Amino acid sequence: MSGKNNRRREPLTDAQLLMTISIGIFAAMYLAAMIFMGGGFLKAQQIFDLLNDNSYLIIISCALTIVMIGGGINISVGGVISFTCMACAIFLNGTGIASGPMGIVLALLLALGIGLGFGLLMGFLVSYLQIQPFIVSLAGMFLARGLTTILSVNPVKVAHEGFLELVKAKIKIPWLGYVAQNGNLIPAKIEIGTVVAICVVILMFVLLRHLRLGRNIYALGGNRQSALMLGINVKRTCFYSYLISGLLSGLAGFVFLMHKPAGNASVAMRSEMDAIAASIIGGTLLTGGVGNVIGTFFGVMILATIQKIIALSPLNASWWQEMASGAMLGFFIILQSVVLSHRGRKTKK
Protein backbone atom coordinates (compact mmCIF):
# COMPACT_ATOMS: atom_id res chain seq x y z
CA MET A 1 0.00 0.00 0.00
CA SER A 2 2.79 2.42 0.87
CA GLY A 3 4.40 1.82 -2.52
CA LYS A 4 1.16 2.72 -4.27
CA ASN A 5 0.78 5.89 -2.18
CA ASN A 6 4.34 6.96 -3.02
CA ARG A 7 3.64 6.55 -6.71
CA ARG A 8 0.54 8.70 -6.48
CA ARG A 9 2.47 11.47 -4.75
CA GLU A 10 5.17 11.66 -7.39
CA PRO A 11 5.23 15.17 -8.89
CA LEU A 12 4.68 15.78 -12.56
CA THR A 13 7.77 15.87 -14.74
CA ASP A 14 8.69 19.16 -16.42
CA ALA A 15 7.28 17.93 -19.76
CA GLN A 16 4.02 16.78 -18.14
CA LEU A 17 3.59 20.04 -16.22
CA LEU A 18 4.16 22.23 -19.28
CA MET A 19 1.85 20.00 -21.35
CA THR A 20 -0.87 20.30 -18.69
CA ILE A 21 -0.57 24.09 -18.74
CA SER A 22 -0.91 24.11 -22.54
CA ILE A 23 -4.01 21.90 -22.45
CA GLY A 24 -5.55 24.10 -19.75
CA ILE A 25 -4.91 27.30 -21.69
CA PHE A 26 -6.38 25.81 -24.89
CA ALA A 27 -9.50 24.66 -23.01
CA ALA A 28 -9.94 28.07 -21.36
CA MET A 29 -9.38 29.90 -24.65
CA TYR A 30 -11.84 27.76 -26.59
CA LEU A 31 -14.43 27.95 -23.81
CA ALA A 32 -14.13 31.75 -23.79
CA ALA A 33 -14.63 31.78 -27.57
CA MET A 34 -17.75 29.64 -27.18
CA ILE A 35 -19.17 31.98 -24.54
CA PHE A 36 -18.32 35.37 -26.03
CA MET A 37 -18.30 34.65 -29.78
CA GLY A 38 -20.70 31.71 -30.09
CA GLY A 39 -21.49 30.92 -33.71
CA GLY A 40 -19.26 28.26 -35.19
CA PHE A 41 -17.43 27.72 -31.89
CA LEU A 42 -20.58 26.07 -30.52
CA LYS A 43 -20.39 23.38 -33.20
CA ALA A 44 -18.07 20.36 -33.17
CA GLN A 45 -17.26 21.05 -36.82
CA GLN A 46 -15.24 24.10 -35.76
CA ILE A 47 -12.70 21.91 -33.97
CA PHE A 48 -12.63 19.54 -36.93
CA ASP A 49 -12.03 22.50 -39.26
CA LEU A 50 -9.08 23.58 -37.13
CA LEU A 51 -7.70 20.05 -37.40
CA ASN A 52 -8.40 19.77 -41.14
CA ASP A 53 -6.69 23.08 -41.91
CA ASN A 54 -3.67 22.36 -39.72
CA SER A 55 -3.12 18.62 -40.15
CA TYR A 56 0.16 19.18 -42.02
CA LEU A 57 1.30 21.59 -39.29
CA ILE A 58 0.60 18.99 -36.60
CA ILE A 59 2.86 16.54 -38.43
CA ILE A 60 5.81 18.90 -38.92
CA SER A 61 5.41 20.18 -35.35
CA CYS A 62 5.88 16.58 -34.18
CA ALA A 63 8.94 16.44 -36.45
CA LEU A 64 10.33 19.60 -34.82
CA THR A 65 9.50 18.35 -31.33
CA ILE A 66 11.56 15.18 -31.77
CA VAL A 67 14.58 17.12 -33.04
CA MET A 68 14.25 19.82 -30.37
CA ILE A 69 13.97 17.28 -27.55
CA GLY A 70 17.31 15.92 -28.79
CA GLY A 71 18.82 19.40 -28.56
CA GLY A 72 18.72 20.18 -32.29
CA ILE A 73 16.65 22.28 -34.69
CA ASN A 74 15.32 21.74 -38.20
CA ILE A 75 13.97 24.74 -40.12
CA SER A 76 13.93 22.98 -43.48
CA VAL A 77 10.53 21.33 -42.93
CA GLY A 78 8.56 24.06 -44.73
CA GLY A 79 10.83 23.88 -47.76
CA VAL A 80 10.52 20.10 -47.85
CA ILE A 81 6.71 20.43 -47.84
CA SER A 82 6.87 22.89 -50.75
CA PHE A 83 9.21 20.67 -52.78
CA THR A 84 7.14 17.57 -52.01
CA CYS A 85 3.87 19.21 -53.09
CA MET A 86 5.36 20.41 -56.36
CA ALA A 87 7.07 17.11 -57.17
CA CYS A 88 3.97 15.05 -56.38
CA ALA A 89 1.68 17.41 -58.31
CA ILE A 90 3.85 17.16 -61.42
CA PHE A 91 4.15 13.40 -61.01
CA LEU A 92 0.40 12.92 -60.62
CA ASN A 93 -0.27 15.01 -63.71
CA GLY A 94 2.02 12.75 -65.75
CA THR A 95 0.78 9.93 -67.92
CA GLY A 96 1.37 6.20 -67.93
CA ILE A 97 2.44 4.77 -64.59
CA ALA A 98 1.06 7.78 -62.69
CA SER A 99 -2.51 7.14 -63.85
CA GLY A 100 -4.98 5.23 -61.70
CA PRO A 101 -4.76 4.31 -57.98
CA MET A 102 -1.17 3.13 -58.36
CA GLY A 103 -0.21 6.71 -59.17
CA ILE A 104 -1.43 7.85 -55.74
CA VAL A 105 0.60 5.15 -54.01
CA LEU A 106 3.69 6.06 -56.02
CA ALA A 107 3.17 9.75 -55.25
CA LEU A 108 3.04 8.93 -51.53
CA LEU A 109 6.26 6.93 -51.85
CA LEU A 110 7.80 9.86 -53.74
CA ALA A 111 6.83 12.22 -50.90
CA LEU A 112 8.28 9.90 -48.27
CA GLY A 113 11.41 9.44 -50.39
CA ILE A 114 11.96 13.19 -50.64
CA GLY A 115 11.55 13.59 -46.90
CA LEU A 116 13.81 10.63 -46.23
CA GLY A 117 16.47 12.06 -48.54
CA PHE A 118 16.52 15.41 -46.75
CA GLY A 119 16.53 13.63 -43.38
CA LEU A 120 19.50 11.50 -44.39
CA LEU A 121 21.44 14.50 -45.68
CA MET A 122 20.87 16.75 -42.68
CA GLY A 123 21.21 13.92 -40.19
CA PHE A 124 24.59 12.97 -41.61
CA LEU A 125 25.87 16.56 -41.67
CA VAL A 126 24.71 17.33 -38.13
CA SER A 127 25.49 13.99 -36.46
CA TYR A 128 28.65 12.74 -38.10
CA LEU A 129 30.23 15.93 -39.48
CA GLN A 130 29.04 17.90 -36.41
CA ILE A 131 27.98 20.99 -38.33
CA GLN A 132 25.66 23.38 -36.49
CA PRO A 133 22.06 22.17 -37.02
CA PHE A 134 20.71 25.67 -37.64
CA ILE A 135 23.14 26.21 -40.52
CA VAL A 136 22.50 22.76 -41.99
CA SER A 137 18.71 23.06 -41.85
CA LEU A 138 18.84 26.63 -43.17
CA ALA A 139 20.80 25.35 -46.17
CA GLY A 140 18.26 22.52 -46.48
CA MET A 141 15.41 25.04 -46.53
CA PHE A 142 17.07 27.07 -49.30
CA LEU A 143 17.83 23.89 -51.24
CA ALA A 144 14.24 22.63 -51.02
CA ARG A 145 12.77 26.00 -52.03
CA GLY A 146 15.23 26.27 -54.90
CA LEU A 147 14.42 22.78 -56.17
CA THR A 148 10.72 23.70 -56.05
CA THR A 149 11.21 26.66 -58.38
CA ILE A 150 13.39 24.56 -60.70
CA LEU A 151 10.50 22.12 -61.10
CA SER A 152 8.09 24.94 -61.89
CA VAL A 153 7.93 28.67 -61.26
CA ASN A 154 4.16 28.68 -61.81
CA PRO A 155 1.57 26.90 -59.64
CA VAL A 156 0.71 23.36 -60.73
CA LYS A 157 -2.83 22.14 -60.03
CA VAL A 158 -3.36 18.41 -59.63
CA ALA A 159 -5.52 17.02 -62.44
CA HIS A 160 -5.33 13.36 -61.40
CA GLU A 161 -8.97 12.26 -61.04
CA GLY A 162 -8.26 9.53 -58.49
CA PHE A 163 -6.29 11.91 -56.28
CA LEU A 164 -9.01 14.57 -56.52
CA GLU A 165 -11.52 11.97 -55.36
CA LEU A 166 -9.22 11.29 -52.41
CA VAL A 167 -9.17 15.02 -51.67
CA LYS A 168 -12.98 15.14 -51.64
CA ALA A 169 -13.29 12.03 -49.45
CA LYS A 170 -14.21 12.83 -45.85
CA ILE A 171 -15.18 10.81 -42.81
CA LYS A 172 -18.70 11.79 -41.70
CA ILE A 173 -19.80 11.73 -38.06
CA PRO A 174 -23.58 12.37 -37.99
CA TRP A 175 -23.98 12.42 -34.20
CA LEU A 176 -21.52 15.33 -33.93
CA GLY A 177 -23.25 17.29 -36.68
CA TYR A 178 -25.82 20.08 -36.41
CA VAL A 179 -29.27 20.84 -37.78
CA ALA A 180 -29.34 23.56 -40.43
CA GLN A 181 -32.06 26.21 -40.70
CA ASN A 182 -33.86 24.15 -43.34
CA GLY A 183 -34.05 21.23 -40.93
CA ASN A 184 -31.42 19.06 -42.62
CA LEU A 185 -28.79 17.31 -40.52
CA ILE A 186 -25.27 18.42 -41.47
CA PRO A 187 -22.82 15.75 -40.26
CA ALA A 188 -19.38 16.66 -38.93
CA LYS A 189 -16.64 15.94 -41.48
CA ILE A 190 -13.01 14.97 -40.96
CA GLU A 191 -10.45 14.88 -43.75
CA ILE A 192 -8.20 11.85 -44.24
CA GLY A 193 -5.19 14.07 -43.59
CA THR A 194 -6.48 14.78 -40.09
CA VAL A 195 -6.66 11.05 -39.33
CA VAL A 196 -3.08 10.69 -40.60
CA ALA A 197 -1.94 13.57 -38.38
CA ILE A 198 -3.57 12.09 -35.27
CA CYS A 199 -1.97 8.72 -36.03
CA VAL A 200 1.42 10.44 -36.29
CA VAL A 201 0.91 12.07 -32.89
CA ILE A 202 0.07 8.69 -31.34
CA LEU A 203 3.01 6.93 -32.99
CA MET A 204 5.49 9.64 -31.97
CA PHE A 205 4.11 9.59 -28.42
CA VAL A 206 4.70 5.83 -28.23
CA LEU A 207 8.18 6.23 -29.72
CA LEU A 208 9.23 8.89 -27.21
CA ARG A 209 7.54 7.35 -24.20
CA HIS A 210 7.99 3.61 -24.60
CA LEU A 211 10.79 2.87 -27.08
CA ARG A 212 14.51 2.89 -26.39
CA LEU A 213 15.19 5.38 -29.19
CA GLY A 214 12.80 7.86 -27.59
CA ARG A 215 14.49 7.56 -24.20
CA ASN A 216 17.87 8.03 -25.89
CA ILE A 217 16.62 11.20 -27.59
CA TYR A 218 15.57 12.62 -24.21
CA ALA A 219 18.94 11.68 -22.74
CA LEU A 220 20.75 13.27 -25.68
CA GLY A 221 18.91 16.57 -25.24
CA GLY A 222 19.22 16.52 -21.46
CA ASN A 223 22.98 16.14 -21.30
CA ARG A 224 25.13 14.94 -24.16
CA GLN A 225 28.07 13.97 -21.96
CA SER A 226 25.87 12.01 -19.57
CA ALA A 227 24.32 10.21 -22.54
CA LEU A 228 27.80 9.19 -23.69
CA MET A 229 28.67 7.93 -20.22
CA LEU A 230 25.47 5.85 -20.20
CA GLY A 231 26.68 4.07 -23.32
CA ILE A 232 24.22 5.73 -25.71
CA ASN A 233 25.39 6.06 -29.30
CA VAL A 234 24.94 9.82 -29.45
CA LYS A 235 25.70 10.28 -33.13
CA ARG A 236 23.35 7.52 -34.22
CA THR A 237 20.56 8.79 -31.96
CA CYS A 238 20.93 12.31 -33.34
CA PHE A 239 20.99 10.92 -36.89
CA TYR A 240 17.76 8.98 -36.31
CA SER A 241 15.99 12.06 -34.92
CA TYR A 242 16.72 14.00 -38.13
CA LEU A 243 15.79 10.98 -40.23
CA ILE A 244 12.38 10.79 -38.55
CA SER A 245 11.97 14.55 -38.88
CA GLY A 246 12.67 14.42 -42.62
CA LEU A 247 10.32 11.47 -43.14
CA LEU A 248 7.51 13.28 -41.33
CA SER A 249 8.16 16.41 -43.41
CA GLY A 250 7.65 14.43 -46.61
CA LEU A 251 4.44 12.94 -45.22
CA ALA A 252 3.28 16.43 -44.21
CA GLY A 253 3.83 17.57 -47.80
CA PHE A 254 1.56 14.81 -49.10
CA VAL A 255 -1.08 15.64 -46.46
CA PHE A 256 -0.89 19.31 -47.46
CA LEU A 257 -1.45 18.30 -51.08
CA MET A 258 -4.53 16.32 -50.04
CA HIS A 259 -5.90 19.49 -48.42
CA LYS A 260 -4.94 21.90 -51.20
CA PRO A 261 -4.24 19.91 -54.39
CA ALA A 262 -1.70 22.22 -56.02
CA GLY A 263 2.05 22.67 -56.02
CA ASN A 264 3.39 26.18 -55.49
CA ALA A 265 6.74 27.72 -54.64
CA SER A 266 5.08 29.64 -51.78
CA VAL A 267 3.45 26.56 -50.21
CA ALA A 268 3.88 26.29 -46.42
CA MET A 269 5.85 29.54 -46.30
CA ARG A 270 7.01 30.21 -42.71
CA SER A 271 5.39 26.98 -41.54
CA GLU A 272 8.69 25.98 -39.90
CA MET A 273 8.36 29.01 -37.62
CA ASP A 274 4.77 28.03 -36.76
CA ALA A 275 5.95 24.49 -36.01
CA ILE A 276 8.69 25.75 -33.69
CA ALA A 277 6.20 28.06 -31.97
CA ALA A 278 3.68 25.21 -31.54
CA SER A 279 6.37 22.97 -30.06
CA ILE A 280 7.45 25.64 -27.57
CA ILE A 281 3.87 26.49 -26.62
CA GLY A 282 3.29 22.76 -26.13
CA GLY A 283 6.11 22.61 -23.59
CA THR A 284 9.21 21.70 -25.62
CA LEU A 285 12.37 23.48 -24.52
CA LEU A 286 14.82 24.82 -27.10
CA THR A 287 17.64 23.66 -24.82
CA GLY A 288 16.48 20.04 -25.25
CA GLY A 289 15.57 17.18 -22.95
CA VAL A 290 11.99 18.33 -22.26
CA GLY A 291 8.97 17.98 -24.52
CA ASN A 292 5.89 15.96 -25.41
CA VAL A 293 4.08 15.55 -28.74
CA ILE A 294 0.69 15.68 -26.99
CA GLY A 295 1.60 19.14 -25.74
CA THR A 296 2.78 20.02 -29.26
CA PHE A 297 -0.63 18.96 -30.63
CA PHE A 298 -2.34 21.39 -28.27
CA GLY A 299 0.26 24.02 -29.15
CA VAL A 300 -0.92 23.81 -32.76
CA MET A 301 -4.53 24.01 -31.61
CA ILE A 302 -3.78 27.11 -29.52
CA LEU A 303 -2.22 28.90 -32.50
CA ALA A 304 -5.08 27.80 -34.78
CA THR A 305 -7.69 28.98 -32.27
CA ILE A 306 -6.01 32.37 -31.89
CA GLN A 307 -5.99 32.84 -35.66
CA LYS A 308 -9.64 31.81 -35.92
CA ILE A 309 -10.75 34.14 -33.13
CA ILE A 310 -8.95 37.09 -34.70
CA ALA A 311 -10.26 36.22 -38.19
CA LEU A 312 -13.84 36.37 -36.85
CA SER A 313 -13.24 39.60 -34.92
CA PRO A 314 -13.08 43.20 -36.22
CA LEU A 315 -9.27 42.96 -35.95
CA ASN A 316 -9.05 40.45 -38.79
CA ALA A 317 -5.95 41.79 -40.54
CA SER A 318 -3.07 39.32 -40.93
CA TRP A 319 -0.67 41.35 -38.79
CA TRP A 320 -2.99 41.07 -35.79
CA GLN A 321 -2.81 37.29 -36.09
CA GLU A 322 1.00 37.45 -36.22
CA MET A 323 1.13 39.80 -33.24
CA ALA A 324 -1.19 37.59 -31.20
CA SER A 325 0.80 34.46 -32.06
CA GLY A 326 4.03 36.22 -31.17
CA ALA A 327 2.59 37.45 -27.87
CA MET A 328 1.39 33.93 -27.02
CA LEU A 329 4.82 32.49 -27.86
CA GLY A 330 6.54 35.10 -25.68
CA PHE A 331 4.12 34.38 -22.86
CA PHE A 332 4.88 30.65 -22.96
CA ILE A 333 8.64 31.21 -23.08
CA ILE A 334 8.42 33.39 -19.96
CA LEU A 335 6.04 30.91 -18.33
CA GLN A 336 8.42 28.03 -19.00
CA SER A 337 11.31 29.97 -17.50
CA VAL A 338 9.35 30.94 -14.38
CA VAL A 339 7.87 27.46 -13.79
CA LEU A 340 11.12 25.57 -14.32
CA SER A 341 13.20 27.99 -12.22
CA HIS A 342 10.64 27.74 -9.40
CA ARG A 343 10.72 23.93 -9.57
CA GLY A 344 14.52 24.05 -9.60
CA ARG A 345 14.58 26.10 -6.37
CA LYS A 346 12.12 23.69 -4.71
CA THR A 347 14.29 20.73 -5.73
CA LYS A 348 17.41 22.30 -4.21
CA LYS A 349 15.59 22.88 -0.94
pLDDT tens-digit series, residues 140-152: 999 999 999 999 9
Q: Judge whether residue 178 has pLDDT over 80.
A: no
Residue 13: the pLDDT is 76
pLDDT tier at 333 (50, 70, 90 boundaries)? Answer: confident
Between these two residues, 317 and 203, which has the higher pLDDT value? 203
Residue 341: the pLDDT is 75
CA distance 214 to 218: 6
Greatest Cα pair distance in the chain: 70
CA distance 122 to 279: 20
CA distance 40 to 35: 11
Q: Judge whether residue 1 has pLDDT over 50.
A: no
Question: Average of pLDDT values for 182-211?
Answer: 91
pLDDT tier at 336 (50, 70, 90 boundaries)? Answer: confident
Between these two residues, 126 and 316, which has the higher pLDDT value? 126
Question: Average of pLDDT values for 106-128?
Answer: 96
Burial class (CB in 10 A: 0-12, 13-18, 19+), 86: buried
CA distance 83 to 250: 9
The pTM (predicted TM-score) of the whole model is: 0.92
Spatial contact of 322 and 296, defined as CB atoms under 8 Å apart: no
Instruction: Look up residue 328 and give its amino acid.
Output: M
Question: Average of pLDDT values for 31-41?
Answer: 85
Question: Average of pLDDT values for 114-125?
Answer: 96
CA distance 190 to 240: 32
Candidates 1.25.60, 3.30.160, 1.10.520, 1.10.3470; CATH matching 17-27+43-339: 1.10.3470
pLDDT mean across residues, the chain: 88
pLDDT tens figures, 234-292: 999 999 999 999 999 999 999 999 999 999 988 888 899 999 999 999 989 888 888 89
Strand 156-157 to 185-191 pairing: unpaired
Domain coordinates in residue numbering, the chain: 17-27+43-339
Residue 41: the pLDDT is 86
Q: Judge whether residue 349 has pLDDT over 60.
A: no
CA distance 241 to 219: 13
pLDDT tier at 63 (50, 70, 90 boundaries)? Answer: very high
| Span between the terminal Cα atoms of the chain, in Å | 28
